[in-house]
Amino acid sequence: MDFVASVVTGVATLTQVMEDGRTQTVGLLFPSDFVGRPGRDAAPYNVIATTDVMMCCFRKKPFEELMARTPHIGQRLLEMTLDELDAAREWMLLLGRKTAREKIASLLAIVARRDASLQGQVRQRQVTFDLPLTREAMADYLGLTLETVSRQISALKREGIIELAGKRTVNVPDLDRLIEEAADDADGGMPG
């Protein structure tokens, strides 16, 4: 990796793989998210596009020089890294302590929110969005198997908490109800 980048459109995942193949996704990359680590040569992660992705790339060397000349950029990068750290730690709580159902609900709520905020929408009761991940990719992010993901999604559908149009398009009739299922305190850990 001799460049850094910013996601413009599409969604990618940041994943870690063990020798025996067990896979854990450690981050989702949405539009506006930053990829790469100035000052570090190697990233121990795989970046995998889960939809068509457009990224805005910078060679690392010139970018670092720019950073050195412009302290503001370094500050901004620290801000973003702190946000990523918060997100990672919230995910640790999910991975360590939430049930399968809570995990699914949390993921759906997060995607719903990121999707809504991309479209500049405010908080609404009813939301529709496209899942940018396969069941397997969701499983790798949630620390589950794809079968468990499928079953829990089916359960949420049966109970009317979500509705599916095709496999990927999700409609949430009552976002608050979904967030309850996620067992997050207050606002689900999202800023704002």
Where do contacts with a second copy occur on this chain (CB under 8 A)? 14, 16, 18-20, 22-24, 26-27, 37, 39-40, 44-45, 71, 74-75, 77-79, 81-82, 84-86, 88-93, 95-98, 142-143, 183, 185, 189
| CA 186, 187, 188, 192 torsion-angle sign | negative
Residue 48: how many CA atoms within 13 Å on its side-chain side? 19
**Residues paired with residue 48 on neighbouring β-strands, in sequence order:** 13
Nearest approach, Cβ of 26 to a second copy (angstroms)? 4
CB of 129 to DNA, least distance (A): 14
127, two tokens: 């939301």
Q: Which is nearer to DNA, 5 or 140 (CB)?
A: 140
Q: What is the DSSP letter of 99?
A: -
Q: Which helix (H) or strand (E) holds 29?
A: strand 23-29
Q: Measured from the CB of residue 160, what is the shortest distance to a second copy in angstroms?
A: 24
Question: Footprint of DNA on this chain (CB under 7 A)?
Answer: 99-101, 134-136, 143-151, 153-154, 164, 166-168
* Torsion sign, CA atoms 102, 124, 150, 48: negative
Q: Which is nearer to DNA, 163 or 187 (CB)?
A: 163
